[in-house]
Structure formats: structure tokens, C-alpha cells
Amino acid sequence: MLTFLGIAAAAVAFILAAAYFVPLPVAYNQDFSVMYFTNKGLINGIPIYTYPAQLEYVKSLTRPDFTFFPFPYPPWYSLATIYIGLLPLQVAARAWFFMNIGMISLSVWLLTPGWKVIARILAAFAAIMFIPAFGLLMVGQYTAPVLLGSALFVFAARQRSSFLAALALILMTFKPHIGAILFLAGFAWLIFERSTFSRRALSFTILGGLLVAGLGFFADPAWPLMYFQSLARYRDIPGVQTCGLCASLPVALLKLFTGQSSTLAAVAPGLILALALAALLFWRYRRQPLDAALLVSLAAVTTLLVDPYLLNYDYLLLLVPLIWLVQHERLAVVPYLIPWAALTLGRDGNMLLALAGIMTFILILRRPIDSPAAQAYNQSTIE
């Protein structure tokens, strides 16, 4: 415990020092600003879902034409990052930049047991340079905790740590629309695992869920109602409705067959895809129990194939199945490299991310889960 606290203290000190003294030109007026001003408003007594009061407060700090969107995440996301609002804006943006790098790197470390140290460092560097990760870092997006939760769940299952498994599931809820399938898959896996470890993990998850839900009232006294109102306000933003920047397969299919580009209308093809993939996965794995690493990999890539509202940085989750694959499938490098072509295609390259997801899904399905390589990975432990 003392070692962990020492490492955590050193990490915090490094992030703060880098944020104050490393003059990186990190954008602070894009996605990151929603978290920053929401947290700053909360520190000054403004509940996180009272959008009119927030907007008035933000404009008093910036300028009348400053663009500020409703906070679309659960209250515990704001509470977990509230210290960001205590920092000057540009310093806070750099701190979040380094925190995202830290969460991505830690996720890779947790997913690569048994690797040599240099290989794990190179893997973390490759993950940071993954195009969705690069995009996330540039705009200060919020997907990294879900990635960390996914990696932590695999690690916790391997180490039989009930507390870490529960923490992992809670992290998946930080961005519900991409973490829901992962959470449900992990929770169901614990139910069917039927061991002391899984029963304790389920208990910790329920208690942890009640705790964060209770703490949410400190962020907004009426959050169970106001959260959904905030989501409705966010949904009404024109760019969200039309999803012009989406990298979603359901939206692409809808546009192909109807000419429309609508997040709401894309729910139908998303559900059809989800049912088809569920049937395929049931047929493929019905006679063999899934280990946590394979289960989380399948849940991550399924999310990326069926979610109607996905932007390019949400494909950060593709790192989970790619790291699982690369350990016994050389072709895994191909879906890693495919998104790089998006640099030359701009917004038209978003569908390359969906293509990378489809290829990753196919590569997973063609792997025999009882192969020697898979068994070696499943039985490996952290050095």
C-alpha cells in the first residue's frame, strides 16, 4: 500500500510540474472546456446540470460568444476530476493531457503481463500514437477512464482482486454510452464465474455503485432527474443529431441505404447489428467459457460496431482487443495501421475506423480460444 501511495504521489507531482512548466500548446477551448467549466462552476456552488446558470457563469469568465455545451456524463465523473477546476485553464488542459497519457499507458501495462519491460514501454508509446488516442489527447476527450476500466478488469480477474474488479466496472460507467456493454459483460461474467472472488466483486460493485450514486448528490442535488435533462439538451445540439462527424457503423449504414445522417435513426440498424453479433458470438463460444481478456476484447469491439454515436476518439477502446490479438496474431498490426490513412482523408476517413473494428472482430473470431498461445496468455501473471 505504501508503495502504491508513493507511486501515486510521484505521478501527481510529475503531472502538476509538467502542467505548469512544460509549455505544450494543448487546446483548452474544445471538448476539455466542458469538464473544466463544469467543475469550476461546481466549486463555486453551481450544480453540474443547471445549464442556464452554468452558461451565464462561463460567459462571465470568458466572452459572450464562448461555446459551452451541457455536461453529458454522470456526476461522479465531475467529482472524480473536480480538482481540475482549481487550476488555471491552460494549466488544467495540460494536466488533463498528461493524465490521459497516464491512463492510456497504465492500461497498456495492465494488458501486457509477462512482457519484457522495454516491450511494454514500446507498446504504451504505440498506444499513445494510435490515431484515436492522438485525437483524444488533442481535444481533451473523456474516453480514457473506460479504457482503463476495461484493462483493470482483465488485470483484476487474473489477480483475483475483487476490489479492483469492482473499481474497473465503476470506471466503465464514466462514459455510459461506450461503457455499458463492457459493464454488462463484466458483471455477467462475475455472476457466472461463481467463486468467492466473483461474489465479493459483485458485492463491492453494488456497494460502490450506491456510494458513487450517493456522492452524486453533492454534484447536483437533483441529479437523477437533471442528468437525463442534460442528456436531452446535449442531444439537441445540431451536430449531435445529424452526427456529421460520427465514425459510427450504424450511421454509415443508415446513410448508405437512406441518405440520412441521424443518431436517433441509427439506433435501429445499431440494434439489428447488436442482435446479429450476439447470435454469432453465442454460436461461436456457446460450448466454451470465455476468460476475462477475451470477453472484454469482444465487448469492446462489439461496442465499436453497434453504438450509433461514436466519434473517432472513442475507438481508443480498440486497443483492448488489439493488444489481446497482437500476442498471437501478426495481422493485428493491420487494424492498428488502417486509421492512419484517415490523416489524408480527413472526415471522410472516419469509416476507416469502423473498418478497423470489423477486421479486429473477424481476427478475434478466427482465433481458436483453446490454442497454446491463448492458454499461455490466459495463465500469465504480472512480473
Query: What integer pLDDT is reported at residue 189 of this predicted model?
Result: 95
Which amino acid makes up residue 167? L
- Report the alpha-carbon distance of residue 310 to residue 301 in Å, rounded: 12
- Report the alpha-carbon distance of residue 227 to residue 219 in Å, rounded: 11
Cα–Cα nearest to 328, from 363, 380, 292: 363
- Residue 155's Cβ-side half-sphere holds a number of Cα atoms within 13 Å equal to 24
- Residue 279's Cβ-side half-sphere holds a number of Cα atoms within 13 Å equal to 6
Burial letters 220-234, b for 16+ CB under 10 A, else e: beebeebbeebbebb
Query: What integer pLDDT is reported at residue 256 of this predicted model?
Result: 84
Q: Which phi and psi (to 5°) does residue 245 adopt?
A: -100, 5
Q: Is 274 exposed, middle or buried (0-12, 13-18, 19+ CB in 10 A)?
A: middle
Tell me the DSSP string of 161-185. -HHHHHHHHHHHTTSHHHHHHHHHH
Which amino acid makes up residue 157? A
Query: What integer pLDDT is reported at residue 160 of this predicted model?
Result: 95
Radius of gyration of the chain (CA): 21
Query: What integer pLDDT is reported at residue 131 of this predicted model?
Result: 93
Which residues, at least 6 apart from 239, have a Cβ–Cβ distance to it below 8 Å? 245
Query: What integer pLDDT is reported at residue 382 of this predicted model?
Result: 36
CA distances 169 to 22, 85, 100, 190, Å, are 34, 26, 19, 11
Tell me the DSSP string of 202-216. HHHHHHHHHHHHHHH
Q: What is the end-to-end Cα distance of the chain in Å, rounded?
A: 18
Cα torsion for 289, 291, 294, 297, to the nearest 10°? Answer: 110
Query: What integer pLDDT is reported at residue 380 of this predicted model?
Result: 45
Which residues, at least 6 apart from 285, have a Cβ–Cβ distance to it below 8 Å? 369
Q: Which secondary-structure segment (H or E) carries 311?
A: none
Whether 371 contacts 328, CB under 8 Å:
yes
Sign of CA dihedral 283, 284, 287, 293: negative
The three cell numbers locating residue 177: 454510452
Q: Could you tell me where the DSSP H helices lie in 236-349?
A: 238-242, 249-258, 267-285, 292-306, 319-326, 333-337, 342-345
Provide the residue-wise pLDDT of the chain in tens; the chain has 383 residues: 556 666 777 888 888 888 888 888 888 888 899 999 999 999 999 999 999 999 999 999 988 888 888 999 999 999 999 999 999 999 999 999 999 999 999 999 999 998 999 999 999 999 999 999 998 999 999 999 999 999 999 999 999 999 999 999 999 999 999 999 999 999 999 999 989 999 999 999 999 999 999 999 999 999 999 999 998 888 877 767 777 778 899 998 988 888 787 888 889 999 999 999 999 999 998 877 788 999 999 999 999 999 999 999 999 999 999 999 998 788 889 999 998 887 777 666 678 999 999 999 999 998 876 544 444 444 443 33
Query: What integer pLDDT is reported at residue 24 of this predicted model?
Result: 85
